[in-house]
Amino acid sequence: MQARGPLMIEHRLIERMIVKIQEMLAQVEQTNKIDPLFVDIAVDFIRTYADRTHHGKEEDILFRELKNKKLSDVDRKIMDELIEEHIFGRSTTKALVEANALYRNGDSSALSDVTSCLRTLVEFYPRHIEKEDKIFFPASRAYFSDAEDQAMLTEFMDFDQNMIHEKYTSVVDDLEK
């Protein structure tokens, strides 16, 4: 397997979650309410899986290694765009958390902010994934030897093994505050 393989597999799970969010948004249109617990689950998925686990491998490993390569101007521009898109996803998720807290605490007007953030994420992720899968990942593969690619794949696996410890250390740390 090439190093981009796990990243593309992760994209498929992110796409499945986006479908569930779309289904929830369709229900909101009918009921004019949303389950704050569903939003919490979506946020946890986005923050832990899509951002920290998936984007973490991209930023902390793939992009780090690409910064040591002589990228074409086009590839460097796309990588910079992807980094900015990751930041955008984080800020949208932060706004979603804030809006969901207001909604959960009885501010029914916050529902529009909750749904707006969810719609933004539903529109964002498919475009972002397509850019990575169809443009950036194939182009970036050319910058690595087979040995370098396999070394990244190994580092991805090591990264994933640490994720559960990082996640639940954070949970306990937050509870102790």
Buried b (16+ CB within 10 A) or exposed e, 127-145: ebbeebeeebbeebeebbe
The single-letter code of the amino acid at 124 is F
Compute, in degrees rounded to 10, the torsion defined by CA atoms 147, 70, 11, 173: 90
Q: Would you give per-residue pLDDT tens digits along the chain (177 residues)?
A: 899 999 999 999 999 999 999 999 999 999 999 999 999 999 999 999 999 999 999 999 999 999 999 999 999 999 999 999 999 999 999 999 999 999 999 999 999 999 999 999 999 999 999 999 999 999 999 999 999 999 999 999 999 988 888 878 887 888 898
CA distance linking residue 166 with residue 93, whole number of Å: 19
The secondary element (H helix, E strand) that includes residue 23 is: helix 4-31
**Contact indicator for 77, 176 with CB cutoff of 8 Å:** no
For the whole model, what pTM was predicted?
0.91
- Domain range for 14 is 4-176
CATH of the domain at 149: 1.20.120.520
CA distance linking residue 139 with residue 134, whole number of Å: 9
Number of domains in the chain: 1
For the chain, the maximum distance between any two Cα atoms, rounded to a whole number of angstroms, is 56
The secondary element (H helix, E strand) that includes residue 125 is: helix 111-130
Count helices and strands (H / E) in the chain. 8, 0
